[in-house]
Structure 1
């Protein structure tokens, strides 16, 4: 935790590190959007109802009747897209610069796990509005999952009743707002800790 906080709030920053270099601070910008997603998600959760009979109506309530609700919902959606884009670019930069090589291979695996968690978070959040696009897109995705090894087991866990049913929506919601954000925050802390620990061998620090 101490290294995590020092990474976010360093007492001294070298002037050379403030220049725009090939890292572009993509990881830092992605983490900033992750925090923005958390904040906007908490505010949306005050009005969202994770039940198949009320979810779509609560989205309409947020969009049409809550003060600033349309802006907040749009901000959450745009930040999610930007978060995924920045993580993809960050991963590409790591590959192109060879920052995945030893002794940084474990941090590369942590970073790649963060990318997978972001994709899964986006997928679980896609169902929550419960409109026709969300239902059909989620149904298509879950049917594709069933074709891979252990996919049927995963399908039964995620969809115990039907896509958009009360239990499946609740599981998507809990994964999206509790489980996946906590795992992401934990891995981010470990990721930043290893970056500081290996600062002597990183070419861009």
Structure 2
């Protein structure tokens, strides 16, 4: 129990430190990219929950529910664009954060575990964006998802993953439901859990990090 409490405590302390050194408030090569990416993720969670009140995960009504949201719901178009733009910002900041880690050598011992966690987070975030692309069920979403599925087949184990994600066809009821569940539940929970672990490991390794 103490281990779990320490895990959560270090996660909270990393987000809301009791004391911040003056030198850490200056703009340096870190640029707080990880914190900014996590902020975008929180915006994604909040806006996504609000979108759930209007989106209907059905092949017959998905696009109509998007049109209703944008045309009939006050602030609906803003909410959808906020979710879309924050997802773009989330991925861009994650890529920049990863690039900064590579260029500064912050992946070296003893931080190898956190580097692996970060790479898994990046892959999960890309996959989350991909699963969300299908949900509007417009023509562009269908074409893009179909292209992604074809690329997946060229990878080792891609056929098995293809059968799991698309048991019928892209845009058909089963595939839409699976993309929907992955996008709103499975992937956000994994990303949130790994983010907590990532921040926890940063606190644990703070003695060897030059910028903490």
Partners of 2:168 and 2:58 lie apart in 1 by 13
1:169-188 pair list within 5 angstroms: 169-188=176-195
Partners of 1:77 and 1:57 lie apart in 2 by 18
1:100 aligned to which of 103, 107, 111: 107
Partners of 2:85 and 2:196 lie apart in 1 by 24
Partners of 1:144 and 1:188 lie apart in 2 by 28
Partners of 2:154 and 2:198 lie apart in 1 by 33
The alpha-carbon deviation at position 64 of structure 1 amounts to 0.6
Give the gaps of 5 or more residues in structure 2.
1-7
Q: Taking structure 1 as the reference length, what is the TM-score of the superposition?
A: 0.99
Partner of 1:86: 93
Aligned with 1:122: secondary structure?
helix
1:125 aligned to which of 132, 143, 146: 132
Aligned with 2:29: secondary structure?
coil
The alpha-carbon deviation at position 9 of structure 1 amounts to 1.1
The alpha-carbon deviation at position 179 of structure 1 amounts to 0.3
Partner of 1:138: 145
Are positions 1:147 and 2:124 aligned together?
no
The alpha-carbon deviation at position 26 of structure 1 amounts to 0.1
1:4 aligned to which of 11, 20, 23: 11
Partners of 1:113 and 1:9 lie apart in 2 by 24
Partner of 2:61: 54
Partner of 1:71: 78
Aligned with 1:113: secondary structure?
helix
The alpha-carbon deviation at position 143 of structure 1 amounts to 1.1
For residues 66-120 of structure 1, give each alpha carbon's deviation from its aligned partner in whole angstroms, at most 9, with x where no partner exists: 1100000001000000100000000000000000000001100001111001100
Q: Aligned pair count?
A: 205
What is the root-mean-square deviation in Å for CA atoms of aligned residues? Answer: 0.5
Partners of 1:201 and 1:149 lie apart in 2 by 38
For residues 16-39 of structure 1, give each alpha carbon's deviation from its aligned partner in whole angstroms, at most 9, with x where no partner exists: 111110000000000000000000
Are positions 1:162 and 2:166 aligned together?
no
Partners of 2:74 and 2:193 lie apart in 1 by 33
Q: Moved runs in structure 1, 4+ residues, more than 2 A?
A: none
The alpha-carbon deviation at position 149 of structure 1 amounts to 1.2
2:30 aligned to which of 8, 23, 32: 23
Give the gaps of 5 or more residues in structure 1.
none
Partners of 1:165 and 1:16 lie apart in 2 by 54
Partner of 2:211: 204
